Copies of this chain bind each other. A is one copy, B any other.
Amino acid sequence: MNATQVDLSVKVGKLELDYPTFMGSGCYGSGEEFAPFVDLARIGAVVLKSVTRLPRLGNPTPRLVHTPAGMLNAIGLQNPGIEWYLEHDVKKFAERPCAVVGSVAGFSVDDYAYTCERLAARDEIAAIELNISCPNVAHEGETFACDPNLTANVVRAARATTDKTLIVKLSPNVTDIAGIARVAESAGADALAVINTVRGMAIDVETWKPRLGNVTGGLSGPAIRPIAVLAVYEVARAVKIPIVGQGGIETTSDALEFFLAGASAISIGTGNFTDPRIPVRIADELAAYLAARNVASLRQIIGKANVGFANPYQYEGDEG
């Protein structure tokens, strides 16, 4: 088989994409910023920076720190608020040669529903991602995605406002992500984004101050990839809706781990800061990988990680 014959298209809710690549919210501006370096027609979708009901200045600086094979960020959802956004920004998104997914954040169920409804009503927006898992704004780590009841309420409320594809973004900072995933599915999510950043902190040992103005931040990049692959694997076994896998994807091999674990699409965030050509390279190499194995469509390998290990030997204590 020839790589050009391979079908990389995926379906995420009602969203039909030629390429299985999302660009992670908050990492890719509105796509325009990266357009000089990447052909946006060769990516699946840009997920916009999360927007809130009211304008937010965001967190004090510094907002970024590099860590081993990753980074911490604490942007704090800087954004102009939904009104200004609808008036000034959204119309430009129609120019993008890829799908544009709006991202909505908030601080109450009402906030989410309001912002979601206003944004989803716009033609320029193909789908909505509900960011209920931003680790940089909530108090004491209590985000919506850390509590099953809050998750159910906020997803149900957002669901009621639109028929467009609703992707709910989950947090890894929980004891049981599969349980939260089930709740989000029952409450009406069309798809799940797995995972948002992992909570972390770094301290400057010269000044004794936290390296982030917000004290704590969200860890992303290759460092968290094993955590994300497992989260996708567990969530895929718990729900029937598609998953947009993310966390540290930089190479085709990384992307394949997520597909095999059960993701229907992948998202690249921090990887774009290493090299903006990554999404296009992954699309090309995925096609070659599948062609070399005579697999006609990417969809055929989703969730196909083979865990049929036998454990041939055991002692009494191993049953423990």
Contact = CB atoms under 8 A, between A and B. Distances in A.
A269 to B, nearest CB: 15
Interface in A264-320: 289, 301, 304-307, 309-318, 320
Contacts of A70: 68-69, 223, 226
Contacts of A175: 141, 146, 173-175
A260 to B, nearest CB: 5
A107 B222 CA distance: 33
Contacts of A226: 67, 70, 72, 200-202, 217, 219
B309 A209 contact: yes
Given A227-B199, A227-B219, A229-B200, A54 B320 contact: yes
A69 B229 contact: no
A137 B320 contact: yes
On chain A, which size bracket covers the interface?
Answer: 35 or more
Contacts of A215: 307, 309
Contacts of A261: 201, 203
B111 A320 contact: yes
A305 B57 contact: no
B200 A230 contact: yes
Given A141-B176, A233-B201, A306-B207, A318 B58 contact: yes
A304 B208 contact: yes
Contacts of A106: 320
A314 B59 CA distance: 9
Contacts of A198: 198, 227
A225 interface: yes
Q: How many copies does the complex hold?
A: 2
A15 to B, nearest CB: 25
A290 to B, nearest CB: 11
Nearest to A105: B320
A260 B215 CA distance: 13
Interface in A104-154: 106-107, 111, 137, 141, 146
A248 interface: yes
A58 B257 CA distance: 26
Contacts of A174: 174-175
A53 interface: yes
Contacts of A208: 260, 301, 304-306
Contacts of A315: 54-57
Interface of A: 52-60, 67-70, 72, 76, 79, 81, 106-107, 111, 137, 141, 146, 173-176, 198-203, 205, 207-210, 213, 215-217, 219, 221-227, 229-230, 233-234, 248, 253, 256-257, 260-261, 289, 301, 304-307, 309-318, 320
29 contacts: A53-B317, A56-B318, A59-B311, A60-B310, A67-B225, A68-B69, A68-B70, A68-B223, A69-B223, A70-B223, A70-B226, A72-B226, A106-B320, A141-B175, A173-B175, A199-B227, A200-B229, A201-B229, A201-B261, A202-B226, A205-B256, A205-B257, A205-B260, A208-B301, A209-B305, A209-B306, A213-B309, A213-B311, A223-B224
